[in-house]
């Protein structure tokens, strides 16, 4: 009786080698695309939507990582060096970028948008917030849809420089993205126009651009810095605010411990939830493929319910 084991084994080996070759070819094709490195989720979201499949967009700061404390890894440094364009948020959000020796085209997006000044900010923060303290600038500018539109226009212009043949696609995708931002702005205005309450209680005021644009007030536990240690005095003050403003829910944010806000919620007998200021997204949000649009609508739903809007 003929033994088929050897031919079958050889066939399996051949199929495995063929699969490895195809995977390698696919990887080679991907790397032929011009690479663009971006540091934060908001810039990543714009870049992915506008570029489609024409560019290889890579994260400098991985999803699920706090951008305030991130330090570049050998891989991210390699990505930066190989990229045709590097986009980072700026305004002190990424301490590692200060003095970084970029060797290619780089854009600090904060130098192109309208930044919000923090009046009366005297809080002494962690070293990564030293720039904030000196310049009194709120770096969370991507929560203003007008700033996102500025960034989308600038990124489109840069992509056309990298790949001129794809200009019609980039213009089309940009226009679609701008319409999405316009709709977000309109929905925020309409949904937050008539609210019973006017104050949100948060652990750290990362939503100043939203509160300024849509006319509500924010009381925070640690002021501007998410890493500041909350004092007993501040906790007591926030509990007083909860009762004074009649709120039924307090908020913390991703990448920050929820322990203190849960303690405040328990003491004040209110509920607690998470807001997403989008400095980065969590690993779970990334796995769900949530976009900037998705998350901003989730934020709107939570804010409007907390403010008891009509």
Domain at 234, CATH number? 3.40.50.1980
The percentage of the chain sitting over the pLDDT mark of 70, rounded to a whole number, equals 81
DSSP E strands in the chain: the ranges are 35-38, 56-59, 85-88, 105-108, 116-117, 137-138, 199-202, 217-220, 249-253, 271-275
Domain co-membership, 119 together with 64: yes
- Residues 150 and 288 grouped into a single domain: no
Residue 186 backbone dihedrals phi, psi, to 5 degrees: -65, -40
* 170 in the same domain as 41: yes
1-to-4, 5, 204 alpha-carbon distances in Å: 9, 12, 77
Q: By the 8 A CB rule, do 193 and 307 touch?
A: no
Domain assignment present for 218? yes
Residue 141 lies in a domain: yes
The three-class DSSP label of residue 138 is strand
Of 197, 174, 185, the closest CA to residue 249 belongs to 197
Residue 9 within a domain: no
How many domains, in total, are found in the chain? 2
Q: What is the CA radius of gyration of the chain?
A: 23
Task: Based on the fold, state whether residues 152 and 247 are members of the same structural domain.
Answer: no
Banded pLDDT at 231 (limits 50, 70, 90): low
Q: Are strands 137-138 and 116-117 parallel, antiparallel or unpaired?
A: antiparallel
In a shared domain, residues 148 and 280: no
Q: Are 211 and 271 within one domain?
A: yes
Residues 255 and 131 in one domain: no
pLDDT for the residue numbered 99: 77
Domain co-membership, 79 together with 141: yes
d(CA 112, CA 74): 29
Band of the pLDDT at 107, cuts 50, 70, 90?
Answer: very high
Average pLDDT over residues 285-290: 94
The better pLDDT of the pair 1, 256 is held by 256
Last residue in a domain, options 121, 155, 188: 188
- Backbone phi, psi, residue 87, to 5°: -115, 125
The residue segments making up the domain with residue 41 are: 34-188
Average pLDDT over residues 103-129: 73
Is 243 inside a domain boundary?
yes
Asked whether residue 18 is assigned to any structural domain, the reply reads no
Average pLDDT over residues 3-15: 57
Residue 139 shares a structural domain with residue 206: no
Instruction: Answer yes or no: is pLDDT of 161 > 90.
Output: yes
The pLDDT tens digits for 36-57 are 999 999 999 999 999 999 999 9
Question: Does residue 252 sit in the same domain as residue 268?
Answer: yes
pLDDT of residue 227: 52
Q: What is the pLDDT of residue 268?
A: 86
Residue 106 lies in a domain: yes
In whole numbers, what is the pLDDT of the chain averaged over residues? 84
> Does 65 or 149 have the greater pLDDT score?
149
**Among residues 58, 54, 98, which one has the least CA distance to residue 78?**
58
Q: What is the DSSP string of 56-85?
A: EEEESS-TTS-TTT----HHHHHHHHH-SE
Q: Taking a C-beta distance cutoff of 8 angstroms, is the pair 249, 303 a contact?
A: no
Q: Is 210 found in the same domain as 182?
A: no
Residue 284, C-beta contacts closer than 8 angstroms, at least 6 positions apart: none
Is the pLDDT higher at 25 or at 267?
Answer: 267
List CB contacts of 152: < 8 A, sequence separation 6 or more: 46, 50, 174, 177, 178, 181
Report yes or no on whether pTM surpasses 0.85: no
Confidence of residue 133 (pLDDT cuts 50, 70, 90): very low
Q: Sorting pLDDT into bands at 50, 70 and 90, what band is 103?
A: confident
Inside any domain, residue 3:
no
**Is residue 15 included in any domain, yes or no?**
no
- Do 201 and 242 contact (CB within 8 A), yes or no? yes
pLDDT at res. 265: 87
- The beta strands (E) that lie in 80-193 are given as 85-88, 105-108, 116-117, 137-138
pLDDT for res 98? 81
pLDDT band at 293 (very low <50, low <70, confident <90, very high): very high
What is d(CA 125, CA 101) in angstroms, rounded to the nearest whole number? 26
- Please name the residues in contact with 267: beta carbons below 8 A apart, sequence gap of 6 or more: 239
Look at residues 164, 188, 212 and tell me which one is the last residue of a structural domain.
188
CB 89 within 8 A of CB 139: yes
Domain co-membership, 286 together with 270: yes
Q: Which distant-in-sequence residues (6+ apart) come within 8 Å of 283 by Cβ?
A: 63, 64
Half-sphere exposure of 208 (CA within 13 A, CB side): 18
**Residue after which a domain boundary falls, among 165, 188, 211:** 188
């Amino acid at each position: 009786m003929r033994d088929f084991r050897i031919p079958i084994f050889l066939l399996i080996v051949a199929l495995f080698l063929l699969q490895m070759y195809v995977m390698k070819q696919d990887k080679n094709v991907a790397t032929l695309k011009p690479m663009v490195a971006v540091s934060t989720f908001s810039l990543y979201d714009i870049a992915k939507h506008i570029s489609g499949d024409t560019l290889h967009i890579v994260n400098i700061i991985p999803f699920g990582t706090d951008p305030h404390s991130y330090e570049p890894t050998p891989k991210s440094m390699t990505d930066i060096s190989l990229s045709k364009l590097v986009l980072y948020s700026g305004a002190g959000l990424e301490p590692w970028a200060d003095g970084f020796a970029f060797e290619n085209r780089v854009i600090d997006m904060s130098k192109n948008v309208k930044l919000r000044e923090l009046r009366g900010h005297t809080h002494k923060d962690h070293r990564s917030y030293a720039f904030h303290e000196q310049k009194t600038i709120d770096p969370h500018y991507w929560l203003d849809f007008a700033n996102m539109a500025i960034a989308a226009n600038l990124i489109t212009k840069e992509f056309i420089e990298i790949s001129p043949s794809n200009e019609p696609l980039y213009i089309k995708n940009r226009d679609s993205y701008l319409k999405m931002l316009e709709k977000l702005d309109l929905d925020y205005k309409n949904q937050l126009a008539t609210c019973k309450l006017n104050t949100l209680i948060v652990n750290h005021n990362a939503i100043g651009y939203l509160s300024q644009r849509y006319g509500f007030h924010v009381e925070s536990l640690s002021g501007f810095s998410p890493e500041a240690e909350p004092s007993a005095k501040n906790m007591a003050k926030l509990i007083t605010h909860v009762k004074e403003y009649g709120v039924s829910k307090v908020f913390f944010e991703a990448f920050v411990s929820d322990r203190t806000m849960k303690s405040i919620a328990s003491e004040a007998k209110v509920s607690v939830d998470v807001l997403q200021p989008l400095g980065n997204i969590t690993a779970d949000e990334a796995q769900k493929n949530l976009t900037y649009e998705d998350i901003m609508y989730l934020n709107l739903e939570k804010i409007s319910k907390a403010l008891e809007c009509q």
